[in-house]
Amino acid sequence: MAASASYLSLVVLVALAAVVSGQLSPTFYDTSCTRALATIKSGVMAAVSSDPRMGASLLRLHFHDCFVQGCDASVLLSGMEQNAIPNNGSLRGFGVIDSIKTQIEAICAQTVSCADILTVAARDSVVAVRISSYDPRRAIMEVPLGRRDSIDANEAAANSDLPGPTSSRSDLELAFSNKGLLTVDMVALSGAHTIGQAQCGTFKDRIYNETNIDTTFATSLRANCPRSNGDGSLANLDTTTANTLHNAYYTNLMSQKGLLHSDQVLFNNDTTDNTVRNFASNPAAFSSAFTTAMIKMGNIAPKMGTQGQIRLSCSRVNS
Ligand code: HEM
């Protein structure tokens, strides 16, 4: 009964995603490039197995792509958005996407967009790092495809549209609502911070000056993040499990162990507290909300039809 209910909700979710996305469809490459998805998956699995942090980095790359003029691979173009403050010296995974693109060009020339490769790579990264108790059918997360690549990028928009680690809760809500995402989507997607790492410069102020932080947690972080210097030293976003995506992020917030200021504001005697409590106590609710929000994020302003182009190389527009 429970299984059929969750299957039904997956079918509804996929159908809803297809309606919302117009021409995007999970079967977009089924005839034009039958091996596209398998090639992306094996590229992601190989990258994550040699560098376990890479799943986190690819997921973040997709977020930073979609929030700046839509999911159009603009972030992959050399320079430009890559020089923006939230990205410079921080985004990773460009080489993994470039290498998957090279493999795909060899089997299906100029057919599969970089924007779709990045979208599927983010999905496969989530699958690679999910906890085993997730409903496997949900974890498959059929993503609508058919995006095309931009012929430009926008550094100024990357600076203005991406939220920062010192953002307030209302700033975060605004950044997400500007992209058509709800507060519950924002709280669910922030659960991505149960994997990967952050540089000391992004949380230094929090561990030395904020009061809504567990004392032992703050002290343990200070050793590797001194008051002066060391801005590039890394700490796990989730102190307990750096390479597994699960709802521990929310229990950490309830214990005042959010690493970034922008994490802890989600549980700070405010309107998002109840959503955090729900996701902390109910892994299935988190899994479902995360899946829904990922698909919504992947549907932000895609280029379709004759817009943009299918790049030959993800790091530059076609000549
Ligand atoms: C809510 C607003 C968000 C803010 C303010 C934020 C900010 C940050 C910052 C400052 C870092 C550390 C970067 C560094 O030090 O190099 C980070 C890492 C990360 N973020 Fe976010 N983020 C947000 C939302 C998201 C979303 C929506 C996702 C994906 C769905 C995401 C996925 C990640 C991942 C996986 C990492 C670790 C990356 C790695 O280890 O390479 N973040 N984020």
Ligand 1: distance of its center to the CA of 163 in Å? 9
Percent of the chain with pLDDT over 90: 82
pLDDT in the model for residue 240:
81
Distance from the alpha carbon of residue 122 to the mean position of ligand 1, in angstroms? 13
CA 216 to chain centre: 29
More confident of the two residues 22 and 71? 71
Ligand 1 centroid – CA 277 distance (Å) = 21
Q: Tell whether ligand 1 has an atom less than 6 A from the beta carbon of residue 293.
A: no
Distance CA 189, CA 176 (A): 10
pLDDT of residue 142: 83
Q: Which of 54, 60, 171, 203 to mutate to test the pocket of ligand 1 (most atoms within 8 A of CB)?
A: 60
Helix (H, G, I), strand (E, B) or coil at 200: helix
| Closest to 17 measured CA to CA, from 29, 27, 5 | 27
- C-alpha triplet 251, 257, 259: angle, nearest 5°: 120
> Is the distance from the beta carbon of residue 165 to the nearest atom of ligand 1 less than 6 Å?
yes
pLDDT of residue 11: 39
Closest atom, ligand 1, to C-alpha of 234: 15
| 84-95 mean pLDDT | 98
d(CA 9, CA 141): 12
For 234-277, write each residue's pLDDT tens digit: 999 998 888 888 899 999 999 999 999 999 999 999 999 999 99
Per DSSP, the three-state class of 71 is coil
Q: What is the pLDDT of residue 239?
A: 84
Crossing angle of helices 54-66 and 283-298, in 10° steps, is: 50
Joined together, the tokens standing for residue 129 give: 């790092």
Confidence (pLDDT) at 3:
40
**Confidence label for 131 from pLDDT (cuts 50, 70 and 90):** low
Q: What is the mean pLDDT of residues 66-86?
A: 98
Indicate the range of 112-121, 130-139, 211-220 predicted with least confidence.
Answer: 130-139
Whose C-alpha lies nearest to ligand 1, atom 32? 60
Atom 30 of ligand 1: nearest residue by CA position: 189
Give SS3 for 197. Answer: strand
246 is catalytic: no
On the question of pLDDT at 4 being above 50, the answer is no
Distance CA 241, CA 39 (A): 28
User: Ligand 1: does its nearest atom lie under 6 Å from the Cβ of 90?
Assistant: yes
pLDDT category of residue 140 using cuts at 50, 70 and 90: low
Which of 258, 265, 268, 219 shows the shortest CA–CA distance to 238? 258
* Confidence (pLDDT) at 242: 81
Q: Which domains does the chain have, with CATH numbers?
A: 12-192+281-298 (1.10.520.10)
Determine whether the annotation assigns residue 65 to a binding site.
yes
Mean of all residue pLDDT scores within the chain: 90
Exposure string (b/e) for 48-78, b if CB count within 10 Å is 16 or more?
beeebbbbbbbbbbbbbbbbbbbbbbbbbbe
Look at residue 128 in the predicted model and tell me its pLDDT.
84
Ligand 1 pocket residue status of 84, Cβ below 6 Å: no
pLDDT at 130: 73
Residue owning tokens 């410069």: 201
Q: What's the pLDDT tens digit per position in 21-61? A: 458 999 999 999 999 999 999 999 999 999 999 999 999 99
Q: Does 194 carry a binding-site annotation? A: yes
Lowest mean pLDDT among 6-15, 168-177, 179-188, 302-311: 6-15
Out of 62, 64, 246, 261, pick the active-site residue: 64
Q: What is the mean pLDDT of residues 277-304?
A: 94
Residue 194 CB less than 6 A away from ligand 1: no
Is the predicted pLDDT of residue 16 greater than 80, yes or no? no
68 assigned ligand-binding residue: yes
Q: With a cut of 90, say whether residue 89 has pLDDT above it.
A: yes
Q: Please indicate whether residue 305 or residue 20 has the higher confidence score (pLDDT).
A: 305
Check whether 7 has a pLDDT greater than 90: no
Between the CA of 203 and the centroid of ligand 1 the distance, in Å, is 12
Residues ≥6 apart with Cβ < 8 Å to 19: none
**Residue 130, beta-bridge partner list:** 245
Mind listing the pLDDT tens digit for each residue in 148-184? 999 999 999 999 999 999 999 999 999 999 999 999 9
- C-alpha torsion sign, points 193, 195, 200, 204: positive
- pLDDT of residue 132 exceeding 50: no
Distance 60 CA to ligand 1 centre (A): 6
